[in-house]
Amino acid sequence: MRGAVMYAPGDVRVENRDVPAIVEPADAIIRVAAACICGSDLWRYRGIEQLTGPAPMGHEYVGVVEQLGSAVTTLRPGDFVVGSFFASDNTCEICRAGYQTHCVNRRPGAATGAQSQLLRVPLADGTLVATPGQPDADLVPSLLAASDVLGTGWFAAVAAEAGPGKTVAVVGDGAVGLLGVLAARQLGAERIIAMSRHADRQKLAREYGATDIVEERGDAGVARIKELTNGLGAHSVIEAVGTQESMMQAIRATRAGGHVGYVGVAHDVSLPGEELFFSGVHLHGGPAPVRRFLPELIQLIWDRAIDPGKVFDLTLPLDRAADGYRAMDERTAIKVLLQP
Amino acid sequence: MRGAVMYAPGDVRVENRDVPAIVEPADAIIRVAAACICGSDLWRYRGIEQLTGPAPMGHEYVGVVEQLGSAVTTLRPGDFVVGSFFASDNTCEICRAGYQTHCVNRRPGAATGAQSQLLRVPLADGTLVATPGQPDADLVPSLLAASDVLGTGWFAAVAAEAGPGKTVAVVGDGAVGLLGVLAARQLGAERIIAMSRHADRQKLAREYGATDIVEERGDAGVARIKELTNGLGAHSVIEAVGTQESMMQAIRATRAGGHVGYVGVAHDVSLPGEELFFSGVHLHGGPAPVRRFLPELIQLIWDRAIDPGKVFDLTLPLDRAADGYRAMDERTAIKVLLQP
């Protein structure tokens, strides 16, 4: 079986890997129909996050159930499924509260290695959601987006309490930020300010519902958001980068009593307590409980009410994964879809 | 007019100060009936917060309207009023959203100098709330508590989303923490865990509705909260101290998806972004918008449904303010009431 493995920063190779097998009764084996490269994969690609050895890559996937463990009850072989990047039982108290990424039985790295032909998914009943039928080919990218970037952007918009009457600002114009725009729109936000200085991303942000574009960053970006909001700041700010600068930009662009939804994986971020205290904002985020939103998101995609698959502006065969990493690293592509 | 002034850490003197006068048409002059010493005053008393010169002290007060500026419409001379520690117009967009401490026209230090016989309060219509009539003497301490510590504990409980079915943990056994217990109880929390190692405070916590007491602090305190909550952590945690240790204790004692309401004024606190990210908690707090809650809290006190005045375990004449500061600093008193 072919699969992508990162050996060192900048060194991704597609090679033969062992065919996965059912290990536990709750497992499923999926034949991957499409996988993709995540912004969070770039932390290791760029050497910011340490590699401890060759690492099978990928945690976003859609595919067809090939084989099921004896304990799986909600899926059948042949089902087309969308998975989330953490395996969860979806039955514990934390899952029932909608925080499946914090499931008491979660497997954080469980779906790792999704950039491959076959994938073992533990806790299949709690992790995978079957689509209503076999999807048309043009729906596959959107379903794949639901597996992580859409679910993450959606969670950020929910955490930021985007909704009717609200002005939402989005920090970060990667796939998650752009889909945060889409989510804010779907949730009924009145005004959506996308922060981006790239023409292609600005264009997609507008297609997804952005009403304003702000090109400035940092303090200048904050000042621009204040200008656009009567000096008060946005009601809701989505943070989809994960750096010190982007977090502070998000907090400072939010009005007192407003909400920051942050989903950029924080790296070397330290929040000054006193500034946070006097900001009066709400802060919520973390690894998105995508599983909470999957049934709703799959339905919206199935009904062609949303088209999150547009974030994939480069499609490559799995064997060219290395080119995909390069394109995302150099930002010549927003998001890369890999076909096994 | 007599008033308390801090000259240096540990050096509080009651001396003759200028009688305040109406300066702006929205001002009121209040004859202070009772004032008190705040835990936040101790930061300067202990030299942790810098003094820039002799500082009139106090920002919690109740009293009788002595004189009003020409623009004040909701109050009459002779009204008994409860004020909040920041002056606010209570009409701007931020006030209407319930964040009066962030009012666009706020006066953060406006009520400073309340430990005195007379006090000028700007933006009187937006800052002061009249009681339904002249209060019985035994209600005065409770009304005074509403001015800050009760309003702050209440905000913390609201920010922590204390409510039916919830387990609430309270970090900090000062007046704010104890009144956070009272607030959580009023808001319908099922279980309230007070963190305290002082018998007198434990006793009051129980009277206010605490169902459990945890004496451990730091990691051991967190472990104890987890033990009491099936390994998950509390749904809601009130943070009423403001140190690095107490903030981390609060965050770590909260389950994923739960809520931390923090009202301890943060000093030298720095929140690690990655830990916060993976905690999955909601964080909200800051200077409490007491004004939002005053009408409701005054009514509860008036109806004798709550008795927050019990936190005052030492009453002194204003001229003995220095003894009051010493008692709070040495924790021989929970909260000191000063009678001008």
Interface predicted TM-score (ipTM): 0.95
Determine the pLDDT at residue A43.
87
Which residues on B lie below 8 Å from A257 (Cβ)? 94, 97-99, 102
CB contact under 8 A, A287 and B267: no
Looking up residue B277, the CATH number of its domain turns out to be 3.40.50.720
- Give me the residue from A242, A277, A287 closest to B266, CB to CB: A277
- Whether the pLDDT of residue A266 is over 90: the answer is no
Give the span between the Cα atoms of A263 and A270, in whole angstroms: 15
Same domain for A130 and A164? no
Nearest to B280 among A99, A230, A274 (CB): A99
For residues A85-95, average pLDDT: 95
The pLDDT-based confidence of A85 (bands split at 50, 70, 90) is confident
- Taking the C-alpha atoms of residue A190 and residue A210, their distance in angstroms, rounded to an integer, is 10
Clarify whether residues A183 and A297 are in a common domain.
no
- Same domain for A112 and A75, yes or no, is yes
CA of B275 vs chain A CAs: smallest distance (Å): 9
What is the reported pLDDT for B112? 81
Identify residue B327 by its one-letter amino acid code: A
Gap from A279 CA to chain B (nearest CA, Å): 7
Q: Which of B252, B276, B233 is nearest to A284 (CA)?
A: B276
- Determine the Cα–Cα distance for residues A205 and A200; give it in Å rounded to an integer: 9
Q: A257–B98: do the CB atoms touch at under 8 Å?
A: yes
Instruction: Find which of A277, A279, A283 to mutate to test the B interface (most B CBs within 10 Å of its CB).
Output: A277
pLDDT for residue A108 is more than 80: no
A36 and A335 in contact (C-beta within 8 Å)?
Answer: yes
**Residue A109 reports pLDDT greater than 90:** no
Asked if the Cβ–Cβ distance from A94 to B255 is below 8 Å, we say yes
Q: The CATH number of the domain where A11 resides is what?
A: 3.90.180.10
Sheet of B2-8, strand order: B11-16, B2-8, B55-56
Does one domain contain both B17 and B143?
yes
DSSP state at residue A111: T
Identify whether the C-beta of residue B232 lies closer than 8 Å to the C-beta of residue B257.
no
Select from B255, B265, B280 the Cβ nearest to the Cβ of A277.
Answer: B265
Q: What is the pLDDT of residues A217-257, one digit of tens each?
A: 999 999 999 999 999 999 999 999 999 999 999 999 999 99
Nearest chain A residue (CA) to B160: A282
Q: What is the pLDDT of residue B235?
A: 98
Residues A113 and A172 in one domain: no
The number of helices, as runs of H, and strands, as runs of E, in chain A is 12, 17
pLDDT of residue B267: 83
Q: How many contacts, defined by CB atoms under 8 Å, are there between A and B?
A: 118
Distance CA B331, CA A75 (A): 62
Domain check: are B39 and B139 in the same one? yes
Question: Which pLDDT score, from 0 to 100, does residue B206 have?
Answer: 98
Are A144 and A155 contained in the same domain?
no
Which residues from B are below 8 Å from A when comparing CB atoms? 93-94, 97-99, 101-102, 104, 230-232, 242, 244, 247, 255-257, 262, 265-274, 276-287
pLDDT value at residue A40: 83
Q: Which residues of A touch B (CB under 8 A)?
A: 93-94, 97-99, 101-102, 104, 230-232, 242, 244, 247, 255-257, 262, 265-274, 276-287
Interface touch A287/B281, C-beta < 8 Å: no
Contact A280 B101 (CB under 8 A): yes
> Which residues, including other chains, have CB under 8 Å from residue B220's CB and lie 6 or more apart?
none
Residue range A90-119: mean pLDDT, rounded: 91
Chain A contact probe: residue of B283, B290, B291 with most A CBs at under 10 A: B283
Take residue B162 and report the two structure tokens written for it. 């204390």
Position B85 scores a pLDDT of 86
- How many Å apart are CA A290 and CA A120, to the nearest integer? 18
Distance from CA of B318 to the nearest CA of A (A): 31
Same domain, yes or no, for A241 and A327?
no
- What pLDDT, on a 0 to 100 scale, did the predictor assign at position B110? 65
Q: What is the pLDDT of residues A300-334, one digit of tens each?
A: 999 999 999 999 999 999 999 999 999 999 999 99
Residues of B in contact with A104 (CB under 8 A): 231-232
Residue B280's domain comprises 151-285
Shortest distance between the Cα of B167 and any Cα of chain A, in A, equals 14
Statement to judge: residues A92 and A162 lie in one domain = no
Under an 8 A CB cutoff, do B283 and A284 touch? yes
Boundary-marking domain end, from A285, A304, A322: A285
Q: What number of other Cβ atoms are within 10 A of residue A331's Cβ?
A: 13
Largest CA distance in chain B: 59
Look at residues B306, B259, B110, B277 and name the one whose alpha carbon lies nearest to residue A285: B277
Same domain, B92 and B165: no
What is the pLDDT at residue A83? 92
Q: Which residue of A has its CA nearest to B287?
A: A278
CB nearest B94 (choices: A99, A247, A255) = A255
- The CA distance from B27 to A286, in Å, is 46
Q: Which residues of chain B have pLDDT under 50?
A: none
Phi-psi sector, A78: left (phi>0), alpha (psi -120 to 50), beta: left
> Of B257, B267, B274, which has the smallest distance from its Cβ to A102's Cβ?
B257
- Residue B30, Cα to own-chain centre: how many angstroms? 20
Answer yes or no: do B111 and B131 share one domain: yes
- Mean pLDDT score across all residues of chain A: 96
- Best residue of B49, B99, B102, B254 to probe chain A, by most A CBs closer than 10 Å: B102
In terms of CA atoms, which chain B residue is nearest residue A280? B286
Residue A19 has pLDDT above 90, yes or no: yes
Of the residues B276, B281, B291, the best mutation for testing chain A's interface (the one with the most A CB atoms within 10 Å of its CB) is B276
Nearest Cα of chain B lies from the Cα of A91 at a distance, in angstroms, of: 14
Decide if B257 and A94 are in contact by the 8 Å CB cutoff.
Answer: yes
Contact call for residues B60 and B38 (beta carbons, < 8 A): yes
Q: Tell me the per-residue pLDDT of A52-80, one tens digit each, with 9 for 90 and over.
A: 899 999 999 999 999 999 999 999 999 99
User: Per the CB < 8 Å rule, is A266 touching B277?
Assistant: yes
Q: Please tell me the distance from the alpha carbon of residue A24 to that of residue A64, in angstroms, as a whole number.
A: 19
What is the C-alpha to C-alpha distance for residues B331 and B325, in angstroms, rounded to an integer?
10
pLDDT at A110: 65
Q: Say yes or no for a CB contact (<8 Å) between A282 and B282.
A: yes
On the CB side of A295, CA atoms within 13 Å amount to: 4
CB B12 within 8 A of CB B325: yes
Q: Could you tell me if B284 and B260 are in contact, meaning their C-beta atoms sit under 8 angstroms apart?
A: yes
Q: How many domains does chain A have?
A: 2
Q: Which helix (H) or strand (E) holds B272?
A: strand B270-272
Per the listing, tokens 């698959």 go with A309
In this structure, the answer to whether residues B48 and B117 fall within a common structural domain is yes
